[in-house]
Amino acid sequence: MTEDLFAGFDPAEILAATRQHAANKAETRKAVARKSANRHHLRRAQAESTLAEILPTRIELGDSWHVVSRGDIDSLSYLRHVLAGTTHLDHVLMSTWCIAKNDLTEIAGWLDSGRIEQFDLYAGEIFPGSYGDEYEQMLAMCETYGARLIVAKNHSKVTLACNAAEGYYIAIESSANVNTNPRIEQTALHNSADLHAFYLEFFSGIRTIDKHSKTH
């Protein structure tokens, strides 16, 4: 039966196609990298209250701000700061190992008020089982606001935020999860359409492994 199926095809072409398919599959598992030529600014922060003092209200196009902190600063602290520099955000994509209920509640408030139009959360595979309350809260946000939850084998901490009309394309790279964590953490904030697109393309190719979030 298999021999009849491939009758009339050049064996060399079949072999080449098979190898190309395997190469394409392997390519999706490779790490990707991008060179940056942004202007870099270095700062140290003791607590969230100091962010307004050490960071500009609005990150200018082409600028990168690098922060080392040792206080009450998590990833949402930086998103809160970015949001203060614009009227609203068209889209926020947040990738994190875990997220706290209070943080989800605050994001829901931004969605409800229109400060954020679309929110996508990429969480680690432990999220449904180890953070049950937060997981259910996020599913409810999917129903209410059209948010998206993608559960994956994920340990990255990246936040993307954009206001296309203003040319505001923020990428936040951080060691911090989206929960209060009094530890030394490092974060970089960039206003770069290219870097924003680089991360957005990568995360857009990830599919959820959670059966409940597949319907949202």
pTM of the model: 0.80
pLDDT band at 2 (very low <50, low <70, confident <90, very high): very low
Burial, 168: exposed, middle or buried (Cβ in 10 Å; 0-12, 13-18, 19+)?
buried
| 3-state SS string for 24-70 | HHHHCCCCCCCCCCCEEEEEEECCHHHHHHHCCCCCCCCEEEEEEEC
Percentage of the chain lying above the pLDDT 90 cut: 60
Q: How many domains does the chain have?
A: 1
The answer to whether position 129 is within a domain reads yes
Query: What confidence tens digit (pLDDT) does each residue in 131-165 have?
Result: 999 999 999 999 999 999 999 999 999 999 999 99
The answer to whether position 29 is within a domain reads no
Domain range spanning residue 93? 38-215
Tokens of 56: 């500009």
Specify the CATH number for the domain of residue 183.
Answer: 3.30.870.10
Mean pLDDT, rounded, of the chain: 85
The answer to whether position 187 is within a domain reads yes
Q: Higher pLDDT residue, 22 or 35?
A: 22
The answer to whether position 20 is within a domain reads no
Q: What b-and-e string marks burial along 83-119, b requiring 16 or more CB atoms within 10 Å of the CB?
A: bebbeebebbbbbbbbbbeebbeebbebbeeebbeeb
The answer to whether position 23 is within a domain reads no
The confidence score (pLDDT) of residue 135 equals: 97
The answer to whether position 13 is within a domain reads no
Distance of CA 5 to the CA centre of its chain: 44
The answer to whether position 69 is within a domain reads yes
The answer to whether position 5 is within a domain reads no
